[in-house]
Amino acid sequence: MLAFLSKRIAVAILVALTVSMITFSMNYLTGDPAIAMAGENATEADLDAIREFYGYDRPIPVQYFSWLTNALHGDLGHSHYLNQPVTDEIMARLPATMTLGLFALIFALALSIPLGVLAAIRPNSLLDRIALTTAVVGQAMPSFWFALTMMLWFGINWQILPVSGADTWAHFVMPSIALGYYITPGVMRLTRAGMLDVLRSDYIRTARAKGVSKFSLLFKHALRNAIIPVVSLAAVQFGFMLGGSIVIETIFSINGLGYLAWESIQRADLPMMQAIVLVLSFFYIALTFLADVLNAWLDPRIRMG
Amino acid sequence: MKFGSTALWAALVLTTALPAVAGKADDTLNWATDKEVAVVDPYFSVTRELVIMGQMGWDGLVLFNNETGEFDPLLAKSWEWQSNTVVDFDLRDDVVFHDGSKFDADDVVYTINFLADPSNGVPAQSVVNWMKGATKLGQYKVRLELREPFANAFAYLANEIMIMPEGFYDNAPVGADGTRDLSALTPTGTGPYKVADIKTGDYILWDKNDDYFSGGPKGTPEIGHINFRAIKESNTQLAELMTGGLDWAWDVPKEQADRLEQSGQVTVVNEKTLRIAYLAFDVDGSSGQTFFTDQKVREAVAHAIDRDSIAVELVGAASEAIDSACHPDQFGCTQDVVHYDYNPEKAKELLAEAGYPDGFEFDLYGYRQREIAEAIIGDLSAVGIKANLNWLQYSSLLEKVQDGKTPVNFMTWGSSSIYDVAAITSHFFKGGPDDPAKDPRTAEALQRGDTSIDPEVRKEAYAEALGIIADEIYWLPLFSYAKYYAFSNDLEFTPTPDEIPRLYAARWK
């Protein structure tokens, strides 16, 4: 187990390094960072001064290794746009994104798992059709449109929820639903398919013959096995929501990490971009690892290798 | 990133009733723009928001008066030019900083000498590098030396050069890459509002400065608190406006502004700005598409585009078509140059004369307001010219422009809110990297205007340069921009063309 963990960590570091190297190079494709920093009315003198001051006149590999050396000493750099250490800013933005991602995941799972189970119990019934329709609508409806529609009714017409910001739990209701609804179809379909498979299996038939109650049969025996792929999907989706919640964060003006990443690309704030990529890579790796552990707990066969 | 929905907003305006605005109730003016504000510092954050907040939290030596077009004394009581490059200022003696320390000549000398030293890394060097330095002549008297005669000295002193307390930047921690951690400093100025609370990227709360000196051109602040929020999405800004979460917003898209105005739920004002739009031509063929090396082709383009309609229909009522490579309100910006009217037939004739009776195909580059670029493309296609639109980030586009790789680029320029031709025409036509023509005639004339302090000499020099630019059609100036402001009906606010909203002067009705 220790060897397995060490190998995983080594691979994770390698992945993070590769991603950061690629990001560093790709950042230059968005244009000269000096121009982005100096703003629209900059003169050539402004640009030259910035390039020299921030070291953009050095070769890219030299810049990268300079950044890497500082990063290994715990200094992820200084945001050119925000004029402060990037670590401080990421730590300030992380709670909003984590809260949004977590609420969205809870909403998605609370909606999609019961729907998936109910749809599997009665395949081709009205309930099944409703569940499938929900999934199709969720996949077809653009999340920004859904978000704006909610904002219109709940925020403006009825004024029961705040329109923007991230000050209280109420601020997260609409964004979490808008973000969570987007991943609901996938989770619901996977739950439904898993449950259909499991419900047809021999051990379920045996349990049914032994007179196990329907509730116990569904939620103790069947769901535990059917949910294994859902756990992996949920972990990946949570990672996606941390980095990919830009649209929702923008609409509801939640200044989280996704929004910061987008803004940093726009502003060619290279140190900030680098740090965000590192952090998000770390989360992705950690979540995948967590999903493996959870699956091992749910299915002893995985533990046995 | 925009997530517009016409139907949604039509429904919104038709179905909502505006509640009582919270801003007036708790004496807080809530305003928002689409940009995050970094550190609250007027020098190390190159954004329009910091220009606005710079005027809230700090004072310069002088203040531009939009009504008179003159510079009013602010921290300086008076001034006297000793030569073309030396000016002495007598300072007020009744001013205190937000931290209670008294303002005097040492603060002015420190600020100017800090800014003038390139090693301090102020990003917008052109804003500060005209200053050689300052010396103290007395406790309330300073001398400012310029590197050379500079027409926009006072414009920069008014808009950009905010006086900091002596030694302000000395306590900022310096990172491994040599940059200062300005978030460790408490923003301190002499302005009518002082920072009360900051959450980076989220909000900046300002409190009224009760110790602000009286009798100055900024008046006495009345509203108790001013709170800035960054709200990227314009729909969200409007939703907050309509629910009372916001009292003031600008850059409202025209379509939404029209609907808001009809609803009467908020006050909507269209005010001109100093920003203009233009097409710049590749006159030397360096892009590989040589159509625009022919002056007849450039003239055909000028006649093909209905600039008046674009200005009024797409930009706003306060927008106007322009003929000169500058804003009509700027000093030295004569519109008495050759005028190319909208005349598609003449455009076709000119194309035929140039050898393109069936038109041609070229690459048009742009970075903002795609709807205007598309209107231009539509007008050009009507005379047989097919434009392929290349839409880029500003920084990427500027690189291409400066490398001479764009046959035609649709760009804009805001002149840093400076009412002087030197802030635009001199930037673009004095042979620098942004100069599409590198014409020595314009460079010479503009240099003559820039280095004189005689208004008549300057006007004459600029008129000469602008005439050449219009005759040769190095640029096709399109229109001046206008901004839509939307604000609470409870708010008394007057927009100004320089795009520096005087929020410190706003009042509740």
- Taking chain B (509 residues) in consecutive chunks of 10 residues, what is each chunk's mean pLDDT? 50 43 83 86 84 95 90 97 94 97 98 93 84 97 94 90 95 73 88 93 92 95 96 88 91 86 89 95 95 97 97 91 95 95 97 96 93 96 96 84 94 89 93 92 95 89 97 97 94 91 95
Asked if residue A137 and residue A33 are part of one domain, the reply reads no
- Residue B466 included in any domain: yes
User: Is it the case that residue A288 has pLDDT exceeding 70?
Assistant: yes
DSSP reduced 3-state for B164: coil
Spatial separation of the C-alpha atoms in residues B393 and B391, rounded to whole Å: 7
Q: Which one is predicted more confidently, B356 or A277?
A: B356
> Is the Cβ pair A45, B125 closer than 8 Å?
yes
- Residue B227 included in any domain: no
What is the per-residue pLDDT for B484? 93
Asked if residue A134 and residue A224 are part of one domain, the reply reads yes
- Which residues, including other chains, have CB under 8 Å from residue B391's CB and lie 6 or more apart? B365, B366, B367, B370, B373
What is the per-residue pLDDT for B14? 45
Asked if residue B277 and residue B165 are part of one domain, the reply reads no
What distance in Å separates residue B124's CA from the closest CA in chain A? 5
Contact yes or no for B226/A248 (Cβ under 8 A): no
What is the per-residue pLDDT for A109? 92
> How large a percentage of chain A has pLDDT more than 70?
90
What distance in Å separates residue B427's CA from the closest CA in chain A? 8
Last residue of a domain, one of A51, A71, A86: A86
CATH number at residue B139: 3.90.76.10
Q: Which domain holds residue A285?
A: 90-302
* pLDDT band (50, 70, 90) for residue A28: low
What is the per-residue pLDDT for B109? 98
> How large a percentage of chain A has pLDDT more than 90?
11
Asked if residue A182 and residue A98 are part of one domain, the reply reads yes
What distance in Å separates residue A220's CA from the closest CA in chain B? 44
**Interface contact B454, partner A, CB < 8 A:** no
Nearest to B124 among A38, A263, A268 (CB): A38
For residue range A91-108, list pLDDT tens digits in order.
Answer: 888 899 999 999 999 999
**Interface contact B7, partner A, CB < 8 A:** no
- Residue A186 included in any domain: yes
Asked if residue A278 and residue A181 are part of one domain, the reply reads yes
- Residue B102 included in any domain: yes
B396: its two tokens = 């990427």
Q: Which domain holds residue B383?
A: 273-482
Asked if residue A174 and residue A72 are part of one domain, the reply reads no
What is the per-residue pLDDT for A300? 65
Q: How many domains does chain B have?
A: 2
Asked if residue B290 and residue B150 are part of one domain, the reply reads no
Last residue of a domain, one of B170, B187, B222: B170
Residue type, B74: L
Asked if residue A294 and residue A195 are part of one domain, the reply reads yes
- Residue A3 included in any domain: no
> Is the Cβ pair B230, A92 closer than 8 Å?
no
Last residue of a domain, one of A86, A113, A134: A86
- Residue A4 included in any domain: no
Spatial separation of the C-alpha atoms in residues A281 and A169, rounded to whole Å: 27
Asked if residue A126 and residue A33 are part of one domain, the reply reads no
Last residue of a domain, one of A86, A112, A143: A86
Contact yes or no for A8/A289 (Cβ under 8 A): yes
Asked if residue B166 and residue B287 are part of one domain, the reply reads no
Asked if residue A109 and residue A51 are part of one domain, the reply reads no
- Residue B199 included in any domain: no
Q: Which of A72, A154, A160, A163 would best serve as a mutation to test chain B binding (most B beta carbons within 10 A)?
A: A163
Asked if residue A182 and residue A117 are part of one domain, the reply reads yes
φ, ψ for residue B39, nearest 5 deg: -75, 140
Spatial separation of the C-alpha atoms in residues A47 and B395, rounded to whole Å: 11
What distance in Å separates residue B182's CA from the closest CA in chain A? 6
**Interface contact B124, partner A, CB < 8 A:** yes
> Is the Cβ pair B395, A75 closer than 8 Å?
no
Flag the least confident range among A22-36, A218-232, B1-15, B301-315: B1-15
What is the per-residue pLDDT for B126? 79
The DSSP string of chain A is -HHHHHHHHHHHHHHHHHHHHHHHHHHGGG--HHHHHH-TT--HHHHHHHHHHHTTTS-HHHHHHHHHHHHHTT---B-TTT-SBHHHHHHHHHHHHHHHHHHHHHHHHHHHHHHHHHHHHSTTSHHHHHHHHHHHHHHHS-HHHHHHHHIIIIIIIS--S-SS-SSSGGGGHHHHHHHHHHHHHHHHHHHHHHHHHHHTSHHHHHHHHTT--HHHIIIIIIHHHHTHHHHHHHHHHHHHHHHH-HHHHHHTT---HHHHHHHHHHTT-HHHHHHHHHHHHHHHHHHHHHHHHHHHHH-HHHHT-
Dihedral angle of Cα B313, B316, B320, B325, to the nearest 10 degrees = -100
For residue B473, the 8-state DSSP code is: T
CATH number at residue A282: 1.10.3720.10
What distance in Å separates residue B295's CA from the closest CA in chain A? 28
Asked if residue B158 and residue B277 are part of one domain, the reply reads no
- CA-based nearest residue in chain A for residue B35: A263
- Residue B425 included in any domain: yes
Asked if residue A110 and residue A80 are part of one domain, the reply reads no
Asked if residue B288 and residue B152 are part of one domain, the reply reads no
- CA-based nearest residue in chain B for residue A159: B243
Asked if residue A95 and residue A28 are part of one domain, the reply reads no
> Is the Cβ pair A92, B229 closer than 8 Å?
no
Chain-wide mean pLDDT for chain A? 82
Q: What is the mean pLDDT of residues A50-62?
A: 81
Nearest to A30 among B229, B395, B433 (CB): B395
What is the per-residue pLDDT for B258? 87
What is the per-residue pLDDT for A301? 65
- Residue B400 included in any domain: yes
- Residue A115 included in any domain: yes
Q: What is the mean pLDDT of residues A257-274?
A: 82
What distance in Å separates residue B213's CA from the closest CA in chain A? 31
What is the per-residue pLDDT for B16? 44
List the 171-200 stretch of B: residues with Cβ below 8 A of A: 175-184, 199-200
- Residue B507 included in any domain: no
Asked if residue B293 and residue B154 are part of one domain, the reply reads no
Asked if residue A182 and residue A65 are part of one domain, the reply reads no
- CA-based nearest residue in chain B for residue A152: B12
- Residue B436 included in any domain: yes
Last residue of a domain, one of B170, B185, B214: B170
Spatial separation of the C-alpha atoms in residues B326 and B275, rounded to whole Å: 9
Q: How many domains does chain A have?
A: 2
